[in-house]
Chain A
Amino acid sequence: MADSCWPGRHRGFDAVRAAKTCLAALLPAISGLLLAGCWDAHELEEYAFVTVVGVDVGERDDTIRVTYQISKPRNFASKESATTADKATEIVSIDTPSLYASRNLINAGTSRVLTLVQAKVLIVSEAFAKKGNLLLELESLVRERDFRRDIILITCRGKAEEFIRSNRPQLEKAPYRYYELITQTDSASGLVPDSQLHDFIVSSEGGDRSALTMLAGVREDDDREAQTEELDDLLAGELRIEGKNKVQFLGSAVYNDQKLIGLLTGRETRMAQLVRGKVKQFNAFVPDPEEEDKIVALLVRQQRRPDIRIDPFADPIRIDVAIDLDLDLTGQQNPNRRVTSNAYIERLQRAADERLTKQIEEVVRKSQEQFRCDFFGFYQTARQRCFTERCWDRVRWRERYSDAKVEVEIKTHIRRTGKQLDTVRGGNS
């Protein structure tokens, strides 16, 4: 080696050893990388992103019918002109014994891998929800890693598949955004409950194991004449709104032990949400305390959480609900009244108190007598009185709730009467 022509050899450079060193360096580096990764990198265009999932009763007893609404990403590209939501999506349905298998089967006709990472809405039909344990049926969905808990859970009247196919949002490009927006605006006024899957799971695993989900429906063309005193005392699908989109969200579905046991109308839902302290503001009507045939319109705001005091050790259980509401007078029909007079405001407040109290008591009665479950979440307050699990077990909340003595007290304060001191008069005032 001494007489080689390699430069640097005189310094003891050894090509073999250098190669060994390089190899020794490369091997752990490469194998470290190879062994550490999951190698699940995928380009976005290899996926079909499901945004809405619908679940129906299947044609046979042991199957379920799954409907997937897949968004077409092309419509979101910057260069594409706006299309309506029904053109921006692809809807596929399939009868399948298990949810998990359904996606592979659908791939028989769809070119891309279905993924639920961006699923936003889960719609179950009434019939399916009545069948039994909802989460157990959908177990594979909920268990999956890419199925998020902030998904919106909707119970719909009729078939979920039909509902998804007939939902034609006119303002949004993306159907999932329609659902998101409508749940936000709708639940702020209390007409539908907060309906994330997470809430459903938490309350259906809670002390009373009852939960509420949003109720959706499609307006029939032979519109059922629902004659009610107030327009919000209806279920989804019964409200007469003229427009292209016949889909409605109104009221809630009551689940006990993850099984559908009944429905609440929009107003009942709102009252339940008032007790839960989840309403932001809504419009209400109160008959004029001085003239029965006139109506006063009020904007109701829930600024403070309701004060709920429960004595679970009393027999029967005692539940006191005190709700504080702020009102704005937004309109009244009497042409010659000064709404700013203190006496009138007092009377108006009393009228509103009575009316709201009555409505809430109706819902409470319904929950105790018809459904026999506490969907107000009272048990959370009641449990705080117990230091141990054993103590709570002795309360036997689920059995004794329906006999509980519930006192509802509503205090309203009229804060504003609007910009008009006097009523607007026609002609020369």
Chain B
Amino acid sequence: MKRKKMHSFFKQVKRAMFDPAAGTDRFSLGERSSPHLDSTRLRDPPEDPPDLTGDPAKDAEALQSLFGAPRNGDFLSSEIRLTNRSGQSFSVRLLFLRGMTDNRKIDDKIVRPLLEAALQTDRVKPETLADFLVHATPTATATSHARIKEAILDGAVAILTPGVRRAVLVQATKVEHRAVGDAKTELVIRGPHEGFVESLETNISLVRKILRSENLVTEYVPLQEFYQTKAAVMYLSDLANEKLVEEVKLRLEGIKMESIANTLVLQQLLEDKPNSLIPTLSVTERPDRASGAIIDGGVIVLSGHAPFAILCPTTLWTLFHTSEEIYTRTAYANFVRFVRLFATFFALFAPGVYIALVNFQPEMLPTDLMFHIAGNRELLPFPTLVEILLMELAFELIREAGIRIPSVIGSTIGIVGALILGQAAVQANLVSPLLVILVSITGLGSFAVPNQDLAYAVRLGRFLFLFLGSLLGFFGISLGVVFMLGHMVSLQSFGVPFLAPLYPHMSSNRDFIFRKQLWKQEEYGQFTRPKKLRRVRGAIRVWKNLWEDRSP
């Protein structure tokens, strides 16, 4: 192997954090051509060589061994003897998986029609039998073992008839999953409450229900060889940038990993910069948010294994917004956003700023407050840094324990947490009471961050800024902020800059920290490079204009 030239450390850091070559060697949604998108698919659809012999018993044998039956008790192959009016009979074989199929469906859709069809004819031929079914229910045919295997794994029933060298596949899928309920991680007070579930069909229907448009396209991308699942890619064909769609599909196809194709795993595998602290892809549990992303010219990825949709691309604003702000009046929504911004900043900077103030610049504190802090610190055994770390770690501990604890004994967490974090620590002269308040507010602030991934980033970032503040004071914090901003600006998500459309500046509804009135949001954000510029031609509130025309 040719030895790679080792870059200097600074070059490595620069490359890792700021991507100096951002303009040239990365995927871009712009005019620049992306040769890799024009290339053929990474994986061809499985071919369909004629493997079947036309002897059902033999073919069933072959497929059985493929599934490890008879040891595998879930693979069922049942023989149905069909008799026509003249008493002739022959038998067909049904192959299907228990647990993927619905017995009633098999009875209603396959067995009964077959029996009836046989009885109605005098001289039924095996090859015409399939035609009866074709008229009865949605079916497909296949001739190769591989295709049949896939269909069976998807919950189809394969029907083998003697003398015919193809199998008829009838969908009789029935998979158990949770019923549609509340979105558990993204609760709102006002707005729809339903959330995605662990079923691809249901999830797709939840989105389709909202966007009833002929342009809403769902493309199924087969994932990985092993546990064959499909991911669904949904977008508006008259809006979404084709390059974006292609890139999403290409990345999905280009994943080769033997694992469960859970949406949350996919999210990590699709990301542009998985090593960054800041998430560059986000997921949502809410169909309305997913639809909103589609309407913004984005693409969503769904799979049947987790109640989430991946939003491609994701910007900082995606992470910062919730759907609630669209459902509340502008002034209220902006107030909430402001509170959330404050919370985020507090969660990120409060401990760092506190330690910078107390250890480096006590003259910046009001005298009374400073003496208050100093007076409470008189009896404490630890330096400020250790004090904060203790409290922060205790808080993280309570948070983690609160998630892991069985709900039966969950109430103890609150008691223990309040006692440890609050009274006992102060009473035992381990921490100063002011710090308890600081850490509590910091904790609350990090709970207020709407996106889970961003909340993690903020929690980790808090420790970074805490160390910077304790090492270098405000100089350190400003250093950290500069690096953080530089890093954020150089991030991309599916070719979209992370801070777009604020930076780089481009046409959009200016919905960043604060949003305008809904009836002033007339544009499509251009950061996804959609095919359209404006959502509406003319005004949104047409009635208003009518009103003004009528007034003298």
List A residues at the B interface (Cβ < 8 Å): 12, 17, 20-21, 24-25, 27-29, 33, 36-38, 40-45, 47, 49, 51, 71-78, 80, 117-118, 120, 146, 148, 174, 176-177
Instruction: Determine whether B202 belongs to the interface, using a CB cutoff of 8 Å to chain A.
Output: no
- CA distance in complex: A49, B9 (Å): 44
Contact B360 A40 (CB under 8 A): yes
Contact B360 A118 (CB under 8 A): no
- CA distance in complex: A71, B358 (Å): 17
Which of B370, B470, B475 has the most A CB atoms < 10 Å from its CB? B370
Contact A28 B368 (CB under 8 A): no
Instruction: Determine whether B99 belongs to the interface, using a CB cutoff of 8 Å to chain A.
Output: no
B354–chain A nearest beta-carbon distance, Å: 12
Contact check: which of A24, A76, A176, A177 meets B374 at CB < 8 Å?
Answer: A76
Instruction: Determine whether B476 belongs to the interface, using a CB cutoff of 8 Å to chain A.
Output: yes
| A41 in contact with B370 given A33-B472, A75-B375, A80-B375 (CB within 8 Å) | no
Per-position 1/0 for B463-476, Cβ under 8 A of A:
00000001111011
- CA distance in complex: A37, B378 (Å): 26
Contact check: which of A27, A75, A117, A177 meets B363 at CB < 8 Å?
Answer: A117
Contact A76 B368 (CB under 8 A): yes
- Give the chain A neighbours of B230 by CB distance below 8 A: none
- CA distance in complex: A146, B359 (Å): 14
Instruction: Determine whether B139 belongs to the interface, using a CB cutoff of 8 Å to chain A.
Output: no
Contact check: which of A12, A43, A71 meets B371 at CB < 8 Å?
Answer: A71
Contact B378 A41 (CB under 8 A): no
- Give the chain A neighbours of B370 by CB distance below 8 A: 44, 49, 118
Contact check: which of B368, B372, B379, B473 meets A41 at CB < 8 Å?
Answer: B473
Contact A21 B6 (CB under 8 A): yes
- CA distance in complex: A351, B361 (Å): 55
Contact A45 B374 (CB under 8 A): yes
Contact A78 B433 (CB under 8 A): yes
- Nearest B residue to A24, CB-CB: B9
Contact check: which of B10, B363, B377, B379 meets A146 at CB < 8 Å?
Answer: B363
Instruction: Determine whether B12 belongs to the interface, using a CB cutoff of 8 Å to chain A.
Output: yes
Tell me which residues from 466 to 493 in chain B have a Cβ below 8 Å from any Cβ of chain A: 470-473, 475-476, 479
Contact B9 A25 (CB under 8 A): yes
Q: List 8 A-B contacts (CB under 8 A).
A: A24-B8, A37-B475, A44-B374, A47-B362, A49-B374, A73-B375, A77-B375, A118-B367
- Give the chain A neighbours of B433 by CB distance below 8 A: 78
B27–chain A nearest beta-carbon distance, Å: 27
- CA distance in complex: A74, B6 (Å): 57
- CA distance in complex: A36, B468 (Å): 11
B: contact size bracket: 20 to 34
Instruction: Determine whether B376 belongs to the interface, using a CB cutoff of 8 Å to chain A.
Output: yes
Apart from A49-B374, A74-B378, 8 more pairs, CB < 8 Å = A21-B6, A24-B6, A24-B9, A47-B374, A49-B371, A78-B376, A148-B363, A174-B371
Contact A37 B472 (CB under 8 A): yes
- Give the chain B neighbours of A27 by CB distance below 8 A: 9
- CA distance in complex: A174, B367 (Å): 10
Instruction: Determine whether B409 belongs to the interface, using a CB cutoff of 8 Å to chain A.
Output: no
- Give the chain B neighbours of A45 by CB distance below 8 A: 374, 377-378
Contact A76 B472 (CB under 8 A): no
| A41 in contact with B367 given A36-B472, A73-B378 (CB within 8 Å) | no
- Give the chain A neighbours of B377 by CB distance below 8 A: 43-45, 73
- Give the chain B neighbours of A75 by CB distance below 8 A: 375
A14–chain B nearest beta-carbon distance, Å: 9
- Give the chain B neighbours of A174 by CB distance below 8 A: 367-368, 371
Contacts between the two chains (Cβ within 8 Å), count: 96
B482–chain A nearest beta-carbon distance, Å: 13
- Give the chain B neighbours of A37 by CB distance below 8 A: 471-473, 475-476
- CA distance in complex: A76, B365 (Å): 15
- CA distance in complex: A80, B372 (Å): 11
- CA distance in complex: A38, B360 (Å): 10
- Give the chain B neighbours of A176 by CB distance below 8 A: 367
Instruction: Determine whether B34 belongs to the interface, using a CB cutoff of 8 Å to chain A.
Output: no
- Give the chain A neighbours of B472 by CB distance below 8 A: 33, 36-38
- CA distance in complex: A33, B467 (Å): 11
Instruction: Determine whether B383 belongs to the interface, using a CB cutoff of 8 Å to chain A.
Output: yes
Contact B470 A76 (CB under 8 A): no
- Give the chain A neighbours of B367 by CB distance below 8 A: 51, 118, 120, 174, 176-177
Instruction: Determine whether B384 belongs to the interface, using a CB cutoff of 8 Å to chain A.
Output: yes
- CA distance in complex: A174, B370 (Å): 13
Tell me which residues from 331 to 375 in chain B have a Cβ below 8 Å from any Cβ of chain A: 358-360, 362-363, 367-368, 370-375
| A118 in contact with B470 given A25-B12, A43-B377, A44-B370 (CB within 8 Å) | no
- CA distance in complex: A76, B433 (Å): 13
- CA distance in complex: A45, B371 (Å): 10
Instruction: Determine whether B1 belongs to the interface, using a CB cutoff of 8 Å to chain A.
Output: yes
- CA distance in complex: A41, B471 (Å): 8
Contact B378 A78 (CB under 8 A): no
- CA distance in complex: A257, B255 (Å): 82
- CA distance in complex: A41, B468 (Å): 12
- CA distance in complex: A41, B6 (Å): 37
- Nearest A residue to B382, CB-CB: A43
Contact B9 A118 (CB under 8 A): no
Which of A29, A71, A73, A80 has the most B CB atoms < 10 Å from its CB? A73
Tell me which residues from 1 to 41 in chain B have a Cβ below 8 Å from any Cβ of chain A: 1, 6, 8-10, 12
Contact A77 B383 (CB under 8 A): no
- Nearest A residue to B434, CB-CB: A78
- CA distance in complex: A321, B376 (Å): 54
B476–chain A nearest beta-carbon distance, Å: 7
Contact A76 B375 (CB under 8 A): yes
A17–chain B nearest beta-carbon distance, Å: 7
**Top 10 A-B pairs, shortest CB-CB distance:** A77-B375, A117-B363, A76-B375, A73-B374, A73-B375, A44-B374, A76-B371, A41-B359, A12-B1, A37-B472
Contact B10 A28 (CB under 8 A): yes
- Nearest B residue to A27, CB-CB: B9
- CA distance in complex: A51, B367 (Å): 9
- Nearest B residue to A17, CB-CB: B6
- CA distance in complex: A25, B372 (Å): 42
Tell me which residues from 364 to 422 in chain B have a Cβ below 8 Å from any Cβ of chain A: 367-368, 370-379, 383-384
Contact check: which of B6, B8, B358, B475 meets A44 at CB < 8 Å?
Answer: B358
B380–chain A nearest beta-carbon distance, Å: 8
- Give the chain B neighbours of A40 by CB distance below 8 A: 360, 473
A184–chain B nearest beta-carbon distance, Å: 15
| A117 in contact with B362 given A25-B12, A43-B384, A78-B433 (CB within 8 Å) | yes
- Nearest A residue to B366, CB-CB: A118
A76–chain B nearest beta-carbon distance, Å: 4
- CA distance in complex: A72, B374 (Å): 9
- CA distance in complex: A42, B370 (Å): 14
| A118 in contact with B8 given A44-B370, A44-B374 (CB within 8 Å) | no
- Give the chain A neighbours of B470 by CB distance below 8 A: 41
- CA distance in complex: A78, B473 (Å): 26
Contact check: which of B1, B375, B384, B471 meets A74 at CB < 8 Å?
Answer: B375
- Nearest A residue to B473, CB-CB: A41
Contact A36 B475 (CB under 8 A): yes
- Give the chain A neighbours of B1 by CB distance below 8 A: 12
| A28 in contact with B475 given A44-B362, A49-B370, A76-B368 (CB within 8 Å) | no
- CA distance in complex: A17, B12 (Å): 15
- Give the chain A neighbours of B8 by CB distance below 8 A: 24
Contact A42 B375 (CB under 8 A): no
- Give the chain B neighbours of A148 by CB distance below 8 A: 363
A269–chain B nearest beta-carbon distance, Å: 27
- Give the chain B neighbours of A43 by CB distance below 8 A: 358-359, 377, 383-384
